[in-house]
Structure 1
Amino acid sequence: MCSPAMCCSPKRELQQDPADCSGKHDASEQGISFRSYMNGGMSSLVCTVITFPVYKTVFRQQLHSMLIREAVVQLYKEGLLKLYRGVVPPLLMKTLQGTILFGLQNTLLQQLSPWAESYVPRATHPALAGLGTGVVESLFFTPFERVQSILQNSSNDRSLPTISKIVGRMRSETLVNGWYRAFLPTLTRNALGSSLYFGLKDPLSRVLREQDCPPIASSFVSGMISSMMISMPLYPLSVLVANMQAQVGGDNLGVRASWNQLWQKRQRSLVLLYRGGSLVILRSCISWGITTAIYDQLTKHSD
């Protein structure tokens, strides 16, 4: 693939006019944008099945305020088949999420850079594009996360045992009480998380490469460090979202009321609120380290 500078170099002016060169430039950018969607989906798919048991353990801790040992014992007693109950929504969601996350961020970055350069430093453009991506991601994926949370709440096993039952129930609810329950904290978490991730990962990777770290290792470590710096501050939002989305029916409390209820349930203790936080860090480090490394390698070899 030729660079824009090579495409529009003076040596080529005798062979093609500027309009042809501009057309090739646009086609090149479109190709890069399309590949970012494909690479993002593939890199996210790899991590989903591997990390799902860890995710489900964390979810049980968030929902029932269990110790790691108690959550693992509960899942062990339920058996292997139930361990992967609810894997289909995150498998679909994470693949689509990676596709949109990386692809849309790349598209927004291309559209944003020409006019934003006059107002904000170029180094902040990836973070700004990530912020917009997080907003779109929340609009698109909140219903998937809602179904996943209902499936993984064991108290719903009898009344809502399958996805089709859940979909039928959601259709009978309003959007706010059904598909988009806990939308505001989800939007806040996703927008901030995406912005921080895209703002941090490339600078961290460059610093590591300057220290003679191999490219794939620098990508993996930058993904790990980025996820670690994001997960802990935003963890209380994830706990709030999990508790709000796992419930079906009843009063749809607002964000403040739901937070107060959760805070009382955790006995006004940060230690209890952050129960499961260690596994969140582990899961995020592994999944985003792998995802970042695979995405960067796919992007490198497709150039």
Structure 2
Amino acid sequence: KHFACGAGSSLINVVLTFPINKIMFRQQLYGFRSHKAFAQLWREGILNLYRGLFPPLVQKSTSVAIMFGLFNHFHHNLATLVPFERIQTLLLDPKHHNTFKNSYHAFSSLYVNYSMKEYFRGTTAVLLRNGPSSVIFFTLRHPIKNHLPESEANSIQNSINDFISGAMIGALCSTVFYPVNVVKARMQSKLGGEFSSFQKTFKVVFRERNYKLRKLYRGMHINFARSLLSWGIINASYEFLIKTF
């Protein structure tokens, strides 16, 4: 039930926050300001708003299921889920809109036209982000909740406390590791050619942004809000589902 509840909480979160994530992604990849990223999505139309939803539904629900199901041991399995995050990046990038029709087409095209290695671009960045952030999440999750107002086990206040503790940790981790996500987006948006290391890609992105750290944080305010909402929903939903089932 820990696996199932973890997956269920993530499914709820992904569906609710996907459009916000899409705006943030454009800012990460191209360094856009938020209004420009929003305007670009607006021009593309409502039919493209949820383009690329399937990979994160699978990737996030599976990884969060593993995360809650295996607790301290989950991260050793995450590398096998990188292809879903890779496909999501390709589908979110507007320059690939005419390259891939949908998730299945993207998955099959990488296998047919490139190699298995293409599925795993950006693995280093994913591990650098998920490893430490998972330790932070499980280390702080209960201590933060314990400092919030006391509540009955099945009360609304208890669910609010779960939401707040998850939201605070998620916002913290997403802010600390935001530049890692920026580099990951660049690594995974590339199709074919050389496999650049995390360090080399970081140098390229940093140079393109005129060596200004604040430009690496373009989109962070949206990401901060999304993470507050996402991890609040995940944590509160997980606790609710566990108590229910």
2:42 alignment partner, SS class: helix
Shift of 1:97: 2.2
Aligned residue in 2 for 1:195 = 135
CA distance in 2, matches of 1:95, 1:283: 17
CA distance in 1, matches of 2:59, 2:157: 31
2:142 alignment partner, SS class: helix
After superposition, the Cα gap between the structure-2 partners of 1:168 and 1:39, relative to the gap in structure 1 and judged at 3 Å, is closer
Aligned residue in 2 for 1:252 = 195
1:134 aligns with 2:89: no
2:32 alignment partner, SS class: coil
> Percent identity among equivalent residues?
32
CA distance in 1, matches of 2:84, 2:146: 35
1:81 aligns with 2:21: no
Shift of 1:193: 1.2
1:103 aligns with 2:69: yes
- How many residues align? The count is 241
The answer (yes or no) to whether the contact 1:134–1:195 under 8 Å persists in 2 is no
Normalised to the residue count of structure 1, the TM-score between the two structures is 0.76
Aligned residue in 2 for 1:161 = 101
Shift of 1:211: 8.3
Q: More deviation in 242-251 or 152-161?
A: 152-161
Shift of 1:158: 1.9
Shift of 1:199: 1.0
CA distance in 2, matches of 1:293, 1:150: 31
Shift of 1:165: 3.4
CA distance in 2, matches of 1:180, 1:295: 29
Shift of 1:225: 0.8
1:208 aligns with 2:148: yes
Shift of 1:135: 3.2
Shift of 1:258: 0.9
1:64 aligns with 2:30: yes
Q: Which has the higher contact order (CA 8 A, sep 6+)?
A: 2
Residue-by-residue CA offset, 1:42-94 (whole Å, 9 max, x unaligned): 11111111100000000000111101000001100100011111111112222
The answer (yes or no) to whether the contact 1:135–1:190 under 8 Å persists in 2 is no
The answer (yes or no) to whether the contact 2:27–2:33 under 8 Å persists in 1 is yes
Q: More deviation in 35-44 or 201-210?
A: 201-210
Aligned equivalent of 1:184, options 124, 128, 131: 124
Shift of 1:230: 0.9
Shift of 1:219: 0.4
**What are the ranges of 5 or more consecutive residues in structure 1 without an aligned counterpart?**
1-34, 106-128
Aligned equivalent of 2:215, options 251, 272, 281: 272
Residue-by-residue CA offset, 1:222-250 (whole Å, 9 max, x unaligned): 01111122111111111110110011012
Larger radius of gyration: 1
What amino acid is aligned across from residue 263 of structure 1 in structure 2?
F
Q: More deviation in 167-176 or 261-270?
A: 167-176
Aligned residue in 2 for 1:36 = 2
